[in-house]
Structure 1
Amino acid sequence: MSSPIHIYSEIGKLKTVMLHRPGKELENLSPDILNRMLIDDIPYLKIAQEEHDYFAQTLKKQGIHVVYLEDLLAESLVKKETRINFLDKLLEESGIKNNDPLHQLLLEYLLNMPPKLMVKQVIAGIKKSEIKNVEPTLADLAEDPDYPFYMDPMPNVYFTRDQQAAIGNGMTINRMTFRARRRESLFMKTILEHHPDFKDQDIPIWRDRDTHGRIEGGDELILNNHVLAVGISQRTSATAISDLARNLFGHSSFDTILAIKIPHSHAMMHLDTVFTMINYDQFTVNPFILTKSGKIDIYVLQPDGKGDVRITPRNDLLAVLKEYLHLSEIDLIPTGGADPIAAPREQWNDGSNTLAIAPGEVVTYDRNYVSNDLLRKHGILVHEVRSSELSRGRGGPRCMSCPLVREDL
């Protein structure tokens, strides 16, 4: 297991995880740009950082090696030529074209910083007030002369699950749904190509960020070394799932994808906000994604024996999990105990978004006390982390973590 990427389950003991400690990008939010930034509220940075440090320390206490996205990226940008190429692409994707004089001005501004400071700056965004003596162009005047940023902040980067996701010994570098987050996956692409721990490891890229069709890591669950569950959601398209299947089948140990269709809802934006695996035969689930008889639309993707993918529609979640995971029983643990008030409240605060760090051992937000008590009653070891400010971004412990290495089961 010498590869820096090794993820063949959701529940194998977590060995290495990638996080991002929130920074000034949260202070660069204002109420009138929240929709543009895809975030619901403005976390108080000081407390959000304290909560995130508590989260990281909780993982470290369990022997998990924590690495930070911002450190890996800075260590990938040591060479000036690499920094220039990275910034050229980032500025272009920020809407600042290469032939725009502002492009060169911002490029020089960022290149004058050491790599770690530069990485923090591009995540925080660049306010117009930071750059002196810039004459407004016709484009500036036509767009919005009062808009405060040349380069928008990236307040969602601390949800490191979505921009990329490890599958087996490879990764998906994701084409994200909304423009506000699309630049973020450039970070991992740069790390894999230039970081000394990754660049020579021949890591398969199952889907690149420039591939047609949207997909995000919160919809990708590795149930075992043969079976994935992938959400058909607000953020992941059926087209992208079919493409992922074609790239995985025959080129990896994975031969089955359970594509699960979930509601297009802000409170249920990814599969892992309504369904997570926490033990060999135990799962959290938002009960309201299922009909009263436990049904949900599922499409089973498998090789058709002719080089393409066979798709079989199903609708019984318990039966499908038992069949493809070879289990006789399944324990579905409902968010908020399926209570009509507690369940939607804890769903909104990511009560289903559990991070398994070993079989039957999870990290959850402390505010979801109904769900946490129920997990304990089902024999799960629960590590609670603080969540008053981090939860304002609409993501829980699984959203905030990108596992890179797990032990095999």
Structure 2
Amino acid sequence: MTEPAIHVTSEIGPLKTVILKRPQAEIENITPDTMEQLLFDDIPYLPIAQAEHDDFAQVLRDHGTKVLYMNELAAQALTDPQIKAAFLRQMLQESGFNKGIVYEQLYDYLLNLSEQAMVDKLIAGVRKKELNMEKLTLRDLAEDRANPFLINPMPNSYFTRDPAAAIGDGLSINHMTFAARQRESLFMQYIIQYNPRFKGQNVPVWRDRNHQSHIEGGDELVLSDHVLAIGLSQRTTASAIEDIAGNLFKNSAYDTVLAISIPHNHAMMHLDTVFTMINYDQFTVHPAILNDNAQLDIYILTPGVNGTINISYRNDLKNVLKEVLHQSSIDLLPTGGGDAVVAPREQWNDGSNTLAIAPGEVVTYDRNYVSNELLRQHGIIVHEVRSSELSRGRGGPRCMSMPIVRDDL
């Protein structure tokens, strides 16, 4: 039986195929001066980060998951010279170059690389010294002298969860919040259109990247074959949630979207950094998103008449989950056991960012040992992966993976 191009109807169905991105030269192209702009708090040590990522990929393979790599899929999508050229023109435009000497040099330099080398170079970044300095103008040389790059690196690209998210048999290709990451979803646009695995499959795009309002995959959680949870967060706006909900209600079996409001800050940038589904009736949750009465703001979106959307308000997370998932009880497992010191420390290191590979079976970072032990006490099978360097990017196993095929429950 041929595997579908995209099929994800839950967060916990056995994981069959996933897209990863192994950290490469882009990680070593972060500097102390550019860390904040590139959304990093530290600079990972690349050889260890790669070894840890390889370990992560192998754990997935060992449990029956096919691993695909985003940069390889992108290169395979660009074998037609005209498509390669069109992609490069758009990437240069989104990198700030439309015409002129620098544009021409960048275009000629990159187009003459192989498809794989071009993709990897765009992700790694292009330094000024790689071009012919004699042909650069005074403005080119003098502008932003502190930055050695003409095309900035994309070090966040190993977090493949965010640029696009599979929902049912389709996906969202996301307009992301910060300039440092917005170019990343262009790769997925071309992969879906032109990679042989996806080309001609008529994969629905529930929301494309051509918007002003933003949404990111870390905020999109597929709870069932008809219920989606989306974080109302630093990285995802209310208008984007309404937009994707309307498209899903009109064109798919999805009839319920939970917009879950979380604090808008760097530590809790996405819903999946504070809340993930790990079993039919079990979830991780960071206590800091709940008030003193264990409540938070939840807006339930359902289809109205004539394409409108009905919105109701609730604040009891357990009861909402019981209702929409038809469960008699819900087990919320607090990050770090809810301890006032351990919980924020392990959440900072993505203790809540679990990746389910089957119901009740997850991949986590080894450094979050308190949270991991609590999961085991509640009957969850936990596969730990090394995390000393990968965690410096502020993303865990769920952030580093884009599931595209899961078995139905």
TM over 0.5: yes
Does the 8 Å CA contact 2:101/2:135 hold for their aligned counterparts? no
Name the residue aligned to 2:368: 368
Matching of residues 289-368 of structure 1 within 5 Å: 289-368=289-368
Shift of 1:145: 2.9
Q: Which whole-Å CA distance do the structure 1 matches of 2:136 and 2:113 have between them?
A: 25
Q: Which whole-Å CA distance do the structure 2 matches of 1:207 and 1:250 have between them?
A: 12
Matching of residues 2-401 of structure 1 within 5 Å: 2-97=3-98, 99-140=99-140, 143-401=143-401
How many residue pairs get aligned? The number is 408
Q: Which whole-Å CA distance do the structure 2 matches of 1:2 and 1:379 have between them?
A: 31
Q: Which amino acid aligns with 1:59?
A: L
Q: 3-state SS of the aligned residue for 1:353?
A: coil
Q: 3-state SS of the aligned residue for 1:295?
A: coil
Which whole-Å deviations, capped at 9, do the CAs of 1:231-272 have from their partners, x for residues lacking one?
000000000000001100031110000000000111100000
Q: 3-state SS of the aligned residue for 2:315?
A: strand
Which whole-Å deviations, capped at 9, do the CAs of 1:303-343 have from their partners, x for residues lacking one?
01331101101111111111111111000000000000100
Comparing 172-181 with 132-141, greater Cα deviation is found at 132-141
Does the 8 Å CA contact 2:349/2:396 hold for their aligned counterparts? yes
Q: 3-state SS of the aligned residue for 1:18?
A: strand
Shift of 1:208: 0.5
Shift of 1:146: 3.6
Q: 3-state SS of the aligned residue for 1:266?
A: coil
Shift of 1:357: 0.3
Q: 3-state SS of the aligned residue for 1:306?
A: helix
Identity %: 61
Which whole-Å deviations, capped at 9, do the CAs of 1:120-155 have from their partners, x for residues lacking one?
111000011122334443543563134200100000
Shift of 1:211: 2.1
Q: Which amino acid aligns with 1:403?
A: P
Q: Which amino acid aligns with 2:10?
A: S
Q: Which whole-Å CA distance do the structure 2 matches of 1:250 and 1:152 have between them?
A: 39
Q: CA RMSD in A?
A: 1.0
Shift of 1:40: 1.1
Shift of 1:4: 1.0
Shift of 1:199: 1.1
Which whole-Å deviations, capped at 9, do the CAs of 1:79-105 have from their partners, x for residues lacking one?
1111110010001101112x2221111
Shift of 1:113: 1.1
Unaligned regions of 5+ residues in structure 1, if any? none
The answer as to 2:401 corresponding to 1:407 is no
Do the aligned partners of residues 113 and 341 (structure 1) sit closer, same or farther apart at CA in structure 2, a change above 3 Å counting? same
Which whole-Å deviations, capped at 9, do the CAs of 1:37-87 have from their partners, x for residues lacking one?
111110000000000000000000001000000110010011111111001
- The ranges of structure 1 where at least 4 consecutive aligned residues each deviate by more than 2 angstroms after the TM superposition are 132-143
Comparing 127-136 with 102-111, greater Cα deviation is found at 127-136
Q: 3-state SS of the aligned residue for 2:37?
A: helix
Q: 3-state SS of the aligned residue for 2:312?
A: strand
Unaligned regions of 5+ residues in structure 2, if any? none
With the length of structure 2 as denominator, give the TM-score of the two structures: 0.98
Q: 3-state SS of the aligned residue for 1:72?
A: helix
Q: Which amino acid aligns with 2:350?
A: D
Which whole-Å deviations, capped at 9, do the CAs of 1:262-283 have from their partners, x for residues lacking one?
0011110000000000000000
